[in-house]
Amino acid sequence: MADLITYREAIADGIAREMRLDPSVVCLGEDIGAAGGVFKSTQGLFEEFGPTRIWDTPISEQAIVGAAMGAAMTGMRPVAEIMFSDFLACCWDFIANEMPKVRYMTGGQVKVPMVVRTANGGGLGFGAQHSQAVENWALSVPGLVIAAPSTPSDVVGLMASAIRSDDPVLFFEHKALFATKGEPAPAGHVIPLGQANVVRTGSEITLVGLAWSMPIVLEAAELLAQQGISAEVIDLRTLVPLDAATVLSSVSKTSRILIVEENPFQGGWGGTLASIVADEGFYDLDAPVKRIAAASVPLAFATHLENELLPSVALTVETAVRMATS
Is residue 227 a part of any domain in this protein?
A: yes
Average confidence (pLDDT) per 10 residues, the chain, 326 residues: 90 98 98 96 97 97 98 98 98 97 97 98 95 96 98 98 98 98 97 98 98 98 98 98 98 98 96 98 97 96 95 98 93
CATH code assigned at 290: 3.40.50.920
Is residue 191 a part of any domain in this protein?
A: no
pLDDT for the residue numbered 12: 98
Give SS3 for 290: strand
**Same domain, yes or no: 127 and 229:** no
**Same domain, yes or no: 10 and 142:** yes
pLDDT for the residue numbered 181: 97
- Cis peptide leading into residue 264 (ω within 30°): no
Q: Is 189 a catalytic residue?
A: no
pTM of the model: 0.97
Phi then psi for residue 223, to 5 deg, are: -70, -35
Is residue 188 a part of any domain in this protein?
A: no
Is residue 192 a part of any domain in this protein?
A: no
pLDDT tens for each residue of 194-234: 999 999 999 999 999 999 999 999 999 999 999 999 999 99
pLDDT for the residue numbered 190: 98
pLDDT for the residue numbered 35: 96
* 17: region left, alpha or beta (phi > 0 left; psi from -120 to 50 alpha): alpha
**Same domain, yes or no: 260 and 149:** no
pLDDT for the residue numbered 1: 55
Question: For residue 121, which of 138, 109, 140, 134 has the smallest C-alpha distance?
Answer: 134
pLDDT tens for each residue of 176-197: 999 999 999 999 999 999 999 9
CA distance linking residue 92 with residue 154, whole number of Å: 27
**Same domain, yes or no: 117 and 201:** no
**Same domain, yes or no: 170 and 319:** no
Q: How many domains is the chain built from?
A: 2
Boundary residue ending a domain (182, 212, 237): 182
pLDDT for the residue numbered 211: 98
- Domain of 203 in residue numbering reads as 197-325
CATH code assigned at 36: 3.40.50.970
Q: How crowded is the C-beta side of 40, counted as CA atoms within 13 Å?
A: 7
Is residue 190 a part of any domain in this protein?
A: no
The catalytic residue among 130, 174, 189, 304 is 130
Other beta carbons within 10 angstroms of residue 253's beta carbon come to 13
Angle (nearest 5°) at CA 134 between 300 and 56: 100
